[in-house]
Amino acid sequence: MAYLVNGNDIFKAARENHYAVGAYNTNNLEWTRALLRGAKETRTPLLIQVSTGAAKYMGGYKTVKDLVLNEMNNMDIDVPVILNLDHGDFESAKECIALGYSSVMFDGHNLPTDENLAKTKEIVKLAHERGISVEAEIGKIGENQGADGGELASVEDAKTFVAAGVDKLACGIGNIHGVYPEGWTGLNFDRLKEIAEAVPNEPLVLHGGSGIPQDQIEKAIQLGIAKININTEFQLAFQAATRKYIEDKMDLDKGNKGYDPRKLLRAGTDAITDSMKEMISWMGTAPIDSKESSVQFDEASLNEE
């Protein structure tokens, strides 16, 4: 029977040993399977997360949790899996705690700091009573805007939020969600170093992990980043492979029912797993053991009526 873990030991070990564990957003059934497959085949821990928008699209937070657990059972997943709410507001965080997510991010960055802190403490209390992990955000992670990213996180806020009991801390250090703009000035390593020294045992989180050059990812991990959030990278991988399928006119092959979504989405789904494996190698994610593993796609399911 599949179960979720809160990941606190996993991320602490990552920070201590200078590697990172990927936190990947799911967007639908195919994404969920692609991520579980990547984790199973690399024998690495997996954090699957869902944004509020993606959860709405998929039918709500409960649907997402049921999907993840059911697929873990179907795919016989035997690596640790964490299910995290990504960028939740106060109500969403409470809902996911009640539903039994194993981790929630309460993102109060747009609130005045005092209110963000008070609400974070409430979420920490509710979550910790149930053994659920909490992530908070300080500073502002940029959103597809200026080349210098969002507002930098302050060292004082880092200390305050860690003292409030959060298990992971997302810091604005020049990182941006989505595709990085031309002329992006890069991560602010000076600020990351100051924060990492101020909270030496706290796993730090890098949002906007897509499109950051490998050397910057590696340096950030050396300085204290233990969780890297990735969504856009896999969307682009999915898009490119799906575009190729269509440009190669595979969807027009009526004899083979190339238009059937089970076939049309297959190349894109495989591309997500491939891209995930590349990121795992960049992050140096430690496998849980050395057992060989592979996931066989059920080919027959493509042609059954």
- The conformation of residue 126, written as its DSSP 8-state character, comes to H
Find tokens 């092959």 and name the residue.
253
The distance of closest approach from Cβ of residue 110 to ligand 13P in the complex, given in angstroms and rounded to an integer, is: 15
Q: What is the DSSP string of 80-113?
A: -EEEEEEEE-HHHHHHHHHHT-SEEEE--TTS-H
The reply to whether 102 sits near ligand 13P by the rule CB under 6 A is: no
Look at strands 46-51 and 168-171 and give their pairing. Answer: unpaired
Catalytic residue among 9, 66, 86, 148: 86
Q: Does 6 bind ligand 13P (CB under 6 A)?
A: no
Whether the CB-CB separation of 192 and 173 falls below 8 Å is answered with yes
Q: Is residue 224 classed as helix, strand or coil in its secondary structure? A: coil
Q: Which of 37, 207, 227, 266 binds ligand 13P (CB under 6 A)?
A: 207
The whole-angstrom separation of Cα 133 and Cα 301 is: 37
Q: Tell the smallest beta-carbon distance from residue 231 to ligand 13P (Å).
A: 3
Q: Does 109 bind ligand 13P (CB under 6 A)?
A: no
Angstrom CA distances, 108 to 85, 114, 258, stand at: 13, 10, 45
Is 253 annotated in the active site? no
Q: Which range of residues in 2-10, 227-235, 236-244, 296-304 is near ligand 13P by CB under 6 A?
A: 227-235
Supply the minimum distance, in Å, between the C-beta of residue 182 and ligand 13P.
Answer: 16
Stretch that binds ligand 13P, among 7-15, 128-136, 188-196, 226-234 (CB under 6 A): 226-234
Site track for ligand 13P across 168-187, x = CB under 6 A? ---------xx---------
Catalytic residue numbers?
A: 86
